[in-house]
């Protein structure tokens, strides 16, 4: 090949590489623009969705379970329920919870259900996604951002990935998550001694699980980190039962009681970071925890 032909071939190769570079840059720009078009949800909207779950779907399931016609061994069910509650480390468990007390039973069931949702749905941002893509995203997130608060770019990665998963998923993915939740929830009820037919239980759990999955996905695609407060620290339990962190009456207009905290009925919701995912180590309480006092 003569010098002129070599020059022409080199020129063509340069043009080809520049075209590839231009295409790659376009893809990068599109990705960045997609991220820049991010619009955060309002805290009030998220709180409203949480209240809807608590006041409607959760209430329906709790009433259903509290009325279930079962003969419970109070000592046995109390011992088995302890590990499924946010229970105070300062509480003496020598005296079992009176599961035959209908009001107390409702509080215990609601606490158990919220702890279940935390462990199986809200604990990690990608537990709410079914399919192989959701599993891969969850694994990558835990490996790349083991401590997400310490990585400023973790918020964008999580938000962008959740958006792509939402855009690409189908109804079978949600059904997979609901099926997983139902199987695990059913196992807990069997452990307590409940005997409920599958159809009846599915009818009552499905609306709750559907709404909870939707809320978890909404949390996942935000840049701020929304999570339920981890109540395992011993220091938290020494707070006043009607402090800035918790309340002991479901109706906020009711007079607060006084006493020591026995267990958390509904966990507090926190937002870590700003709406755009900055300052992830800074936490703000958006709601108070609902607690039950020692009787």
pLDDT tens digits for range 202-219: 999 999 999 999 999 999
- pLDDT at position 123 is 93
Distance set, CA 188 to CA 82, 117, 162, 194 (Å): 12, 12, 29, 9
What is the CB neighbour count within 10 angstroms for residue 96? 15
Backbone angles phi, psi at 191, to 5 degrees: -65, -35
| Token pair in block for residue 85 | 């509650």
Is residue 160 scored above 50 in pLDDT?
Answer: yes
- pLDDT at position 79 is 79
| CB 63, CB 102: distance < 8 Å | no
In tens, the pLDDT along 222-252 reads 999 999 987 666 666 666 566 677 887 776 6
| CB 3, CB 11: distance < 8 Å | no
| Token pair in block for residue 51 | 């209240």
pTM of the model: 0.83
Distance separating alpha carbons of residues 217 and 132, to the nearest angstrom: 16
Q: What's the mean pLDDT in 128-150? A: 87
């Amino acid at each position: 090949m003569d010098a002129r032909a070599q020059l022409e071939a080199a020129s063509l190769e340069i043009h080809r590489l520049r075209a590839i570079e231009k295409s790659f840059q376009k893809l990068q720009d599109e990705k960045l623009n997609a991220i820049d078009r991010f619009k955060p949800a309002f805290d009030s909207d998220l709180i409203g969705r949480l209240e809807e779950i608590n006041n409607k779907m959760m209430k329906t399931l709790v009433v259903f379970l509290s009325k279930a016609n079962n003969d419970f061994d109070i000592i046995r069910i109390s011992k088995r329920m302890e590990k499924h509650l946010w229970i105070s480390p300062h509480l003496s468990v020598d005296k079992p919870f009176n599961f035959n007390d209908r009001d107390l039973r409702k509080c215990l069931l609601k606490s158990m259900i919220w702890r279940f949702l935390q462990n199986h749905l809200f604990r990690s941002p990608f537990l709410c996604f079914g399919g192989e893509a959701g599993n891969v995203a969850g694994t990558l997130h835990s490996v790349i951002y083991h401590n997400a608060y310490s990585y400023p770019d973790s918020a964008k990665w999580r938000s962008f990935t959740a958006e792509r998963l939402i855009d690409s998923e189908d109804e079978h993915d949600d059904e997979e998550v609901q099926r997983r939740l139902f199987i695990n929830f059913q196992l807990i009820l069997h452990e307590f001694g409940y005997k409920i037919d599958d159809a009846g239980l599915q009818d009552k759990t499905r609306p709750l699980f559907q709404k909870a999955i939707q809320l978890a996905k909404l949390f996942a695609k935000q840049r701020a980190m929304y999570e339920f407060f981890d109540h395992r620290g011993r220091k938290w339990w020494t707070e006043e039962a009607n402090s800035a962190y918790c309340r002991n009456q479901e109706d906020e207009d009711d007079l607060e009681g006084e006493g020591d905290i026995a267990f958390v009925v509904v966990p507090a919701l926190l937002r870590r970071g700003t709406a755009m995912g900055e300052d992830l180590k800074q936490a703000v309480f958006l709601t108070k925890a609902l607690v039950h006092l020692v009787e």
